[in-house]
Structure 1
Amino acid sequence: MGIEVGGLLGLIWLIIVVWAIIKVAKSPAGGLAKLLWILVLLFFPLFGLLIWLLLGPKG
């Protein structure tokens, strides 16, 4: 049972991170800012997503 729950939570987390990357890519921010946010989200998924949610989206 633990593998199924962990797999489901991992899939949900992956979907959230991919959603955040898509939102960053579609944002009106400059190219360098987009690149940095995407790299932060890829290399630090937990902290990157939390930081992005606090500082990233403006509206």
Structure 2
Amino acid sequence: MLYFGGLFGLLTLGLWLFCLVDVITTDDGDTRHLPKMAWLLIVLFFPLAGAIVWLVAGKPLRGPVRPRAYERTMPHFPEYDRPGRFAAGDAESDAEFLRRCRERAEEQRSKARKAEGKDGEAR
């Protein structure tokens, strides 16, 4: 019986530490229902109940609940953050890029036509 009590205490301590660190590392505006400081005090002073309530009612759901200030003023497009993304600096570079894209597309079309013709002859 003492073994199960010690195991329960160890699990409670682990859950409490996990939730305590989770509350501390969560952004201020992302918590649900209460401010971050209130959640911190609840989890700190009521270890088991506070940790369970945090997981059920306070922890953010899959990402931020409310957008941050910079996201409200300007939308964020993650495809622009890729390293090595081509961005034309002037109209000539943009025209050259588009010309190369058209050439590459035409080469791919001609290869597909040739492959289609060879397949038609083999049948």
**TM-score over 0.5 for the alignment?**
yes
Unmatched 5+ residue regions in structure 2? Answer: 30-34, 63-123
Separation in 2, partners of 1:56, 1:9:
23
Which residue does 2:14 correspond to in 1?
Answer: 15
Count the aligned residue pairs. Answer: 56
Which residue does 1:6 correspond to in 2?
Answer: 5
Which residue does 1:45 correspond to in 2?
Answer: 47
Name the one with the larger helix percent: 1
CA apart distance, 1:41: 1.0
Bigger Rg over Cα: 2
Unmatched 5+ residue regions in structure 1? Answer: none
**Percent identity (aligned):** 36
Question: Match of 2:14, SS?
Answer: helix
Alignment RMSD (CA, Å) = 1.6
TM-score, structure 1 as length reference: 0.75
TM-score, structure 2 as length reference: 0.41
CA distances 1:19-56 after superposition (whole Å, capped 9, x unpaired): 000011111116xx333212211211232122211221
Q: Which runs of 4+ in 1 moved over 6 A?
A: none
